[in-house]
Homo-oligomer: A and B are copies of this chain.
C-alpha cells in the first residue's frame, strides 16, 4: 500500500540502479509528507527509529491514548511508512526505510538544479 503502488507497471529497462529507491512523483511525495507532518506521528517515528516496538509499548512511552495512537499508526501504515507484524495478541510496528529513502531522493531531485539563474520574466 501507499507509495509503492504502480510498481508493477515500471518497465525494467528504466528501473533505477539496484539499491536506489524508486523515484516518486508529486502525488506520492505529497502523501508521504502529509503523513509525516504531524507532531504525534513524528513522535511515533522517532520512537521506532531505534527498532521495532509493539503498540502497548508505544502507548506507555509516548503517553498517548490508545485510540489516538492507533489512528496515527494507521495513517503512517497506509502511507507506506510503517510495516506491522502480528504476534499473539500484540502488534509490532517498524519503520519502512524504503519510504524514507524514496523521500530523500525526491528532495535531492528538487535541490539539484535550483540554483539556475532567473528565467527572464515580463520584459
Contact = CB atoms under 8 A, between A and B. Distances in A.
Interface size on A, as a range, is: 35 or more
Nearest to A89: B122
Interface in A17-52: 26-27, 29-30, 33-34, 36-39, 42-43, 45-46, 48-52
A103 to B, nearest CB: 6
B90 A122 contact: yes
A108 B52 CA distance: 17
B30 A33 contact: no
Contact of A51 (B43, B108, B113): B113
A21 B114 CA distance: 17
A8 interface: no
Copy number in this complex? 2
Given A92-B118, A119-B52, A29 B42 contact: yes
A2 to B, nearest CB: 15
A100 interface: yes
A115 interface: yes
A91 to B, nearest CB: 11
A118 B42 contact: no
